Structure 1
């Protein structure tokens, strides 16, 4: 029987997790995602209550994400070097959540400060927030390498994460757009006094459950090849980054996909789409409710394909679907007007828009979740090549490129809106639709995401970790754990082909 035969993998002792462990650990991503959702309202808080200029805030929000990316490698090294009686990952998760809570307590009380203190404290709280957020969020990618090495189990994370994230963001948008905003008359101090504490409590509960989920796997025997893992010094990190082609290709592709996801989730973009083009911001909550089932189907189908054909295959196919649906979305928005979208009396136009919007958002955003799991594949690849376990540093390389690329989301929004006359204040639900705002909406929701998707596809053409390759990598890691003479060698795993796999493998 060939070493690369999938039957060999089924006989190999893999590190498998219980279903409840995967489900609970998935909630770590949800715990940080709810802060990402809340972070979308910082622009309205800082311009409406603090009194900062819209273009200034949009640029600062972009720069702070770049800062987030720049500190990520240091956080990755910190995770790799962490070794306590409570494990590697759990202390970082708890510390990150506590810091994030403190940052929000400061950030959303700036309006009560004197004018001379507002900008310095605003910037400081953003910096502290990104440190805490990055600490906890990095564990989501890094911890998966220890949670399970079974290629069929890893996509389960994507299914659960997709379901929870969809329910979390949909529920959040409905609560904000249909309850809190009408009740408190917009993004007022009373709105934030209710909204922000709720975010903190929900995030903390989800974080605690995630700590429980990873607890059993958070020990050295599940890190790489266990006690045989090659020690890594600081000088080794650059060689690892330089020599890991899967890392280079996937991080670049994932960065542009994250940009797309950020655009579809940005509150200003949603305001332009639903509050101005369609004339009713409450529709953003309604359509979130309507899209719950389609979003769950997109996520579940992507993970199901990944279990059968591999994560790379699923990732590429979804990007290809995104190219088509984003082009169609741009065409529909060109003809859209206030009142066209109605769920009380749906027309054929409403049905067409919902289908196209669901496909554009689903195809272009779902790969973001797949990349979380693919980061574990990249970590395993590095272990099979060098014998090193550096899941923390490798995971933060994804965060670095994600942060740099996604920083262009608020920056792009600011530039586009400034170009159409909104440099000082952002458009609101009371802003009338103009040809310039329609064009801005098309650029932000269709043109820029389409360009990002095409670039991501180009990078994925050179990403080699397909289904067969990953099976060979898990075989080699198992042999290295058992003391095979080839332990820790720097040779390419035999399962990795010498040529780049075709787009349809």
Structure 2
């Protein structure tokens, strides 16, 4: 066996390899962003009610969670010439593009009575592809690098990519370009068909998002190419694992237990806060101008990136990943409460921000002219940047923490099961977070939106305000409190991880001497 390139048991990745590999998560997140508007597609094109549309998303996320352990099992069993992880990126990406193309291009041609069953069947296939690619984001962490100071770098890249894509480029593109393009209006300029219910917008989104996701998947494969080999798997030896080993992990690996509890509650609350309908009601209804969503996303993204990088670079790399999650969570709570007080005590309709019609608009000197801003807008932006900055530190650091849990299992039992770690995490995470769309739909149904969800032209009401605040601020607060409780019992401190890597290095050295 070729001896791995390592120093005192620590093997590292090149910076560009980590940067390319992190794009795998961005690739699947782009599909997740595409599907965040699925409730509108189900209501407007497939023809189901608002509550059923929200419930469908929940049921399918549960199916998503059910597929995770099976895919993880196959990942742990795989050790091909093409590696353990890369085959699943390829399989997942092919299924994702093909199934999403069918969903948004074939479904409208199906007779109305058969659209929903057809949509369900294709969406279930889509989920299998999503699971195949998603598992690699977590399972390949431990073979890419086992340096405790290097693992947080993944979170730094991941945070930057997702902020730029999910919070900046895509929102600006959708709100500033696609909504005006695909809104159908009458001669007086009144919207007669919202873009969210226009099938043409979904055709366009699928092709653009699918193409970008495919490019990112290829780059992720290149990033993994050198390290996706057996000598970087656990102790470097082949260890057979079965379902009984999975049961043992579930029962005794305290680290993954607490990480799942923390991350799943955080994901549920964050999914509610960033739900497409909540963003529409927050900016389009409560603030009275949906274009503000694109402006907020574009202007805040770079400062949020900087805060996230500094937070993970200083805290996670020096104090450990557990400490980064705790500090990120505490900061999120403080600034979320400040944001709620601003929304409740102030006048959201007084928010005035520059209209940013494209990404380059952020860098125009006129954007930063004080005449384009209101005091309310400035305060909102400051609180929002600080809240999202701390949220990203806490949220992004979770993924490399699964690699710590995988190494802990090697240390604890000698079993290398990164697929289990990744899919166990994802399974519970998806099942719990799947409730987000249902909660949002049910809460809006309770105030009268039973047949369709609010759009940007829906009139303001107190009911909309409180439902929006419950999802945008209230749900995250509950998730963050659970985070702090779970981290009290999470055993993998910076010092413990150093001990674990030393022990694994000793096992490898002993195995090499016996060869």
Q: Name the TM-score, length of structure 1 as normaliser.
A: 0.91
Tell me how far 1:166 sits from its aligned partner: 1.1
Aligned to 1:159: 156
Distance 1:314 1:143 in 2: 22
For the pair 1:408 / 2:435, whether they are aligned, the reply is: yes
Tell me how far 1:141 sits from its aligned partner: 0.6
Which aligned pairs between 1:452-467 and structure 2 lie closer than 5 A? 452-467=479-494
CA contact under 8 A between 1:257 and 1:367: conserved in structure 2? Answer: no
Tell me how far 1:311 sits from its aligned partner: 0.3
Aligned to 1:428: 455
Aligned to 2:294: 285
Aligned-residue CA RMSD (Å)? 1.6
Describe the shift of the 1:223–1:484 C-alpha distance in structure 2 as closer, same or farther (beyond 3 A): closer
CA deviations 1:88-122 (Å, max 9, x no partner) are: 11111100111111220122131221012111012
Distance 1:298 1:267 in 2: 25
Aligned to 1:92: 88
Structure 1 residue ranges, 4+ long, deviating more than 4 angstroms after superposition? none
Q: Name the TM-score, length of structure 2 as normaliser.
A: 0.90
CA contact under 8 A between 2:159 and 2:392: conserved in structure 1? Answer: no
Aligned to 1:260: 269
Tell me how far 1:467 sits from its aligned partner: 0.5
Distance 2:347 2:125 in 1: 42
CA contact under 8 A between 1:334 and 1:442: conserved in structure 2? Answer: no
Aligned to 1:4: none
Aligned to 2:357: none
CA contact under 8 A between 1:325 and 1:356: conserved in structure 2? Answer: yes
Aligned to 2:179: 181
Aligned to 2:426: 399
Deviates more, 1:92-101 or 1:357-366: 357-366
Aligned to 1:296: 305
Tell me how far 1:264 sits from its aligned partner: 3.2
Tell me how far 1:260 sits from its aligned partner: 2.9
CA deviations 1:302-349 (Å, max 9, x no partner) are: 321100100000100111112212222222222454632111432221
Could you tell me which of 22, 26, 31 is aligned with 2:22? Answer: 26
Q: Which runs of 5+ in 2 are unaligned?
A: 1-5, 184-194, 355-371
Aligned to 1:231: 240
Q: Tell me how many residue pairs correspond in the alignment.
A: 476
Which aligned pairs between 1:323-472 and structure 2 lie closer than 5 A? 323-335=333-345, 337=347, 339-344=349-354, 345-472=372-499
Describe the shift of the 1:232–1:167 C-alpha distance in structure 2 as closer, same or farther (beyond 3 A): same
For the pair 1:122 / 2:124, whether they are aligned, the reply is: no
Distance 1:405 1:454 in 2: 16
CA deviations 1:158-216 (Å, max 9, x no partner) are: 11111111111110111110001101212322222221100110000000010011011
Distance 2:329 2:68 in 1: 26
